[in-house]
Amino acid sequence: MRSTSHYDVIVIGGGASGMMAAGHAAENGKRVLLLEKNVRLGEKLAITGGGRCNITNAEADVRIFLSKYGKMDKFLHSTFAQFGVSDTFSFFESRGLPLKVEAQKRVFPVNERAPDVVAILEKYLAETHVEVRTGITVRKIVGTHGRIVKVQTSVGDFSASSYILATGGASHPETGSTGDGFSWLAELGHATAKPTPTIVPLKVKEGWVKRLAGTSLPSMRISFSVHGTKKFSTVGTLLFTHFGISGPTILNSAGKVADMLQEGNVTAAIDTCPDLDVGALDQKITKLFDTNKNKRLKNVFKDIAPPGTAEILLSLLPNINPDTKVHSVTKEYRREIIELLKHVPVTITGLMGFDRAVVADGGLSLTEIDTRTMRSRLYENLFVTGDLLHITRPSGGYSLQLCWTTGYVAGTHASQKSKLAGR
């Protein structure tokens, strides 16, 4: 029979919320064990934000910030009162990682290196003397009579006065986020919603999109329709990929598009110059053509189309020869050009899967935990954090802030629970 090692707090999961929770619990003087099945901590954190790490969002108004979590915002006021955006700034900058604010108030490390965020947290764990065990698979969380009594792992059993479950959701399974926590919560009797990728790129039918892979349109409007009826529009940055379209505005539209796909065929129209109406765009093109009458259209079109897209967009105008001299472009052809620039058509065929998802929803309902402490309402010594919580949110720093906040709160109250249990 293998022996059982006892701790004040055991944290399962070495991602963003798990490291924050473990470090803070240990900072409160507790003996803390952090279990991680990967050989390294923070595998997903190290690639988040395209490797730049969108560490939080600088929205200072708490009500506006929490509104990004939809109907769940009413549960989170007490949680964020304990550790909010300003606390995240203080935590990282006081440890030598200066932050900067970009468009849409997204916050990144000045050096744009996600691995440095992981390094800060690893140093935090070392300074607070957290015992970190990597490469260990948790097989079962054992609970009875409203208490967790031990965790069974590939190297033996461990027990603690308090347990923090921080295994993450189901996005990017290659980093270890395979939804194990959902299964354990279900086995313990908690109701969990099935995870689905929500903040995720969109797949499109058109082959020309692949030829624009890596090209970004920093400011455009995209409108989504079902059976020709427009449902909604959004403005922001769009990124072409080898499988379709991505970028912040696309990621944050994926949930609505998923619902639309249930209704029927979804098409989208990309307005490459949303700041100009048709009349203003016509005037701009007419003026450009008047000053470049003897040039070929393909040599002038780059001054109309977004950078990097001219050749591909011209290929979508089958009635117009790119070698045509500008003075020969008729009024009808000019209208076709305007129509294309204002309505570049794409057909949405689906959403990418968990491997491409920034965030997947699903998980434990907030009605099943006390969000003032992050403690389970079924098990008095179990705390749940981060992406295991069923909270839909947009991209832009809101997911990581949820991890920092819930990790901190769980670490605070798990260590207090441990203190009470030790009396």
Token output for 382: 């179990």
Mean predicted lDDT score pLDDT of the chain: 89
Residue 258: give the domain boundaries: 201-352
Residue 350 pLDDT exceeds 90: no
Taking the whole predicted model, whether its pTM rises above 0.75 is answered as: no
Residue 361 pLDDT exceeds 90: no
State the burial class of residue 285 (Cβ atoms within 10 Å of its Cβ: 0-12, 13-18, 19+). buried
- Provide CB contacts within 8 A for 251, sequence distance 6+: 199, 200, 201, 358, 394, 395
Q: 191 and 172 share a domain?
A: yes
- Provide CB contacts within 8 A for 372, sequence distance 6+: 78, 79, 409
Cβ atoms of 225 and 231 closer than 8 Å: yes
Cβ atoms of 108 and 48 closer than 8 Å: no
Q: 227 and 108 share a domain?
A: no
pLDDT at site 44: 84
Q: 185 and 236 share a domain?
A: no
Q: 193 and 205 share a domain?
A: no
- Provide CB contacts within 8 A for 330, sequence distance 6+: none
Any idea which of 12-21, 132-141, 232-241 has the lowest mean pLDDT? 232-241
Which residues partner with 199 through β-bridges? 359
pLDDT at site 358: 53
Cβ atoms of 198 and 259 closer than 8 Å: no
Q: 11 and 152 share a domain?
A: yes
CA proximity to 156, closest of 24, 2, 21, 41: 2
Residue 175 CA: distances (Å) to CA of 22, 34, 93, 168, 300: 20, 17, 27, 10, 46
Q: 299 and 404 share a domain?
A: no
Distance CA 208, CA 349 (A): 15
Phi, psi of 345 (to 5 degrees): -90, 135
% of the chain surpassing 70 pLDDT: 91
- Which of 305, 336, 352 delimits the end of a domain? 352
- Render pLDDT for 149-203 as a digit per residue (tens, 0 to 9): 999 999 999 999 999 999 975 443 443 345 688 889 999 999 877 666 567 889 9
- Which of 303, 336, 352 delimits the end of a domain? 352
Query: Cβ–Cβ contacts within 10 Å for residue 378, how many?
Result: 17
pLDDT at site 396: 83
The residue behind tokens 């500008």 is 326
Distance CA 207, CA 242 (A): 9
pLDDT at site 174: 40
The residue behind tokens 């490797």 is 51
> What is the number of domains present in the chain?
2
3-state secondary structure (DSSP) of residue 223: strand
Residue 423 pLDDT exceeds 60: no
Distance CA 348, CA 267 (A): 6
Q: 388 and 341 share a domain?
A: no
Q: 348 and 368 share a domain?
A: no
Q: 296 and 368 share a domain?
A: no
Beta strands 32-36 and 4-12: pairing type? parallel
Q: 153 and 246 share a domain?
A: no
Q: What is the CATH number of the domain that holds 27?
A: 3.50.50.60
Q: 149 and 211 share a domain?
A: no
- Which of 319, 352, 385 delimits the end of a domain? 352
User: In the chain, count of helices (H) and strands (E)?
Assistant: 14, 22
Task: Work out the angle at residue 252's Cα, subtended by the Cα atoms of residues 215 and 100, and round it to the nearest 5 degrees.
Answer: 70
Residue 404 pLDDT exceeds 90: yes
Q: Could you tell me which residue, 279 or 358, shows the higher pLDDT?
A: 279
The predicted model gives 270-288 an average pLDDT of 93
pLDDT at site 197: 56
The predicted model gives 228-252 an average pLDDT of 89
Q: 210 and 300 share a domain?
A: yes
- Render pLDDT for 49-107 as a digit per residue (tens, 0 to 9): 778 899 999 999 999 999 988 889 999 999 999 999 999 999 999 999 999 999 889 99
Quote the DSSP letter at residue 362.
-
Token output for 227: 């059976």
Residue 53 CA: distances (Å) to CA of 23, 96, 357, 395: 20, 16, 15, 12
Which residues partner with 158 through β-bridges? 5, 151
The predicted model gives 10-15 an average pLDDT of 96
pLDDT at site 363: 76
- Render pLDDT for 325-334 as a digit per residue (tens, 0 to 9): 989 988 999 9
